Amino acid sequence: MTTAHTYTQIELLTLHGAEFRRVSTAPPRPSTEQEIPIVDLSTIDDSAAARQAIASQVRAAAENNGFFYIKNHGISSELIQRAHASAQAFFEQTDEQKNLVSHVNSAVMNGYHGVGSTQINKKETPDRKETFSLRYNPANDPTATDPLPTDSSYESDDFLWTGTAHIPDFKATNLEFYQSRLALARKMIRIFALALSMPEDYFDSVTTRPGADGLFVHYPGTPETVDDVSIDVGIGAHTDFQCVTILWQDMSGGLQVLSASDEWLDAKPIPDTLVVNIGDFLQRLSNNRFKSTVHRVYNRQTTSRYSMPFFLGFNPDSICQVVPSCIDEEHPALFEPISCGQWHRDRLALAQGKKIDA
Ligand SMILES: O=C(O)CCC(=O)C(=O)O
Ligand SMILES: [Fe+2]
């Protein structure tokens, strides 16, 4: 039996104006293992051949729905539990306490954003979530080996730690978790280089001082009295800006992914896995071969949902261009070289409703 699909459209913000995507009106359905596969990273530190085998699975996922799970990723469940507990302890505070680390103290959006203060999709409701963000700071990256660019000025994140000093181990746990995710993200970008048929160190020089953001996110529960139609989005339909996102989600569910066949799929929580997806910048560098996939979150339960995304971009001062292996006579480069930092700043400003001079 075939089911007749009906479709609607969603509107997305891009630096070149609004973009429309066709979407099935069917409710989200569970994804199959082919649609959002699980990639086992247990051999990632072994031989080059083992990494090539991982890369070929990543390539298939990246060219299909742009989302996959990773297991045996090397971040201990004990550390993840401590980070989750830290996030909970932070969000359970009063608004006054949370605003001790308000993002208004920061020029680079470090710190706390309250519920409804962002609206990633301007055609949907404000996002019913609150976040704590930690941006890249060389002081938190002891493994970096290259000298800092002389003209770089990074904002201190001291205010984040003084404003949370009363939460036991908040700073130590946050930094330990950030560093372990940064290390994993650097390993994953090497896998992506292989998946693009390039040497595995191809992106190493542009990930020495990367735009790397570690977030804690809390989606408050939805009151039982709210009907399904008027429910606010947790985070509206969007694509991620940077290269690779690595996400931990709790067992609540609610993350939905727009498939290559224009249907909403549930990216259901799978214990001991992280979710990986591709952002717009990597799609651009891959000449649209790898998919930066639209996704959104609804928290339809009465209790809280927590997630912890990590966004990896390239060094802000690097100029990146379409990867040579993605260009041939039939596929000329679709995009000009661009500064990663400028790209990220423009996309963030656009999401905040500011006007961009293209
Ligand atoms: O909370 C989640 O599961 C996803 C969050 C997300 O898509 C984002 O912060 O970009
Ligand atoms: Fe996202």
> All domains of the chain, ordered by start, with CATH?
7-351 (2.60.120.330)
**Which ligand has an atom closest to residue 87 CA?**
1
**Is the per-residue pLDDT at 358 higher than 60?**
no
Across the range 178-186, mean pLDDT stands at 98
pLDDT of res. 230:
59
- What one-character DSSP code corresponds to residue 92? T
Question: Measured from the CA of 295, which atom of ligand 1 is nearest?
Answer: 7
First-last CA distance in the chain = 48
Minimum CA distance residue for ligand 1 atom 1: 307
CB 87 within 8 A of CB 130: no
Residue bearing the CA closest to ligand 1, atom 3: 255
Specify whether the CB–CB gap between 110 and 174 falls below 8 A.
Answer: no
User: How many angstroms does the Cα of residue 324 sit away from the middle of ligand 1?
Assistant: 31
Q: Whose CA is nearest to atom 2 of ligand 1?
A: 307
State what percent of residues in the chain have pLDDT above 70: 96
> pLDDT by residue (tens digit) across 227-270?
665 568 999 999 999 999 999 999 999 999 999 999 999 999 99
* Angstrom distances, CA of residue 254 to CA of 29, 119, 158, 164, 260: 11, 18, 34, 29, 19
As given in the structure block, the two tokens for residue 126 are: 């404000």
Is the pLDDT higher at 54 or at 342? 54
> Does the pLDDT at position 191 exceed 70?
yes
**Average pLDDT along the chain:** 93
State the closest ligand 1 atom to the C-alpha of 120, by its place in the atom list counted from 1. 10
* pLDDT value for 18: 87
pLDDT, residue 17, reads 82
- pLDDT attached to residue 286: 97
pLDDT given at position 80 = 98
Burial track 273-308 (b if 16+ CB lie within 10 A, e otherwise): bbbbbbbbbbbbbbbebbbbbbbbbbbeeeeebbbb
Q: Work out which ligand 1 atom sits closest to the CA atom of 255.
A: 3
The pLDDT tens digits for 298-324 are: 998 999 999 999 999 999 989 999 999
The number of residues making up the chain comes to: 358
- CA of 297 from ligand 1 middle (Å) equals 7
Amino acid at 240: D
Ligand 1 probe mutation, 245, 266, 299, most atoms within 8 A of CB: 245
Candidate of 307, 310, 344 to mutate for ligand 1, largest count of ligand atoms within 8 Å of Cβ: 307
Q: Residues lining ligand 1, CB < 6 A?
A: 217, 235, 240, 247, 249, 255, 295, 297, 307, 309
- The Cα 202–Cα 182 span in angstroms is 17
Distance CA 13, CA 120 (A): 9
For 108-160, how does the pLDDT look when each residue is reduced to its tens digit (9 = 90+)?
Answer: 889 999 999 888 888 888 999 999 999 999 999 988 878 777 767 788 999 99
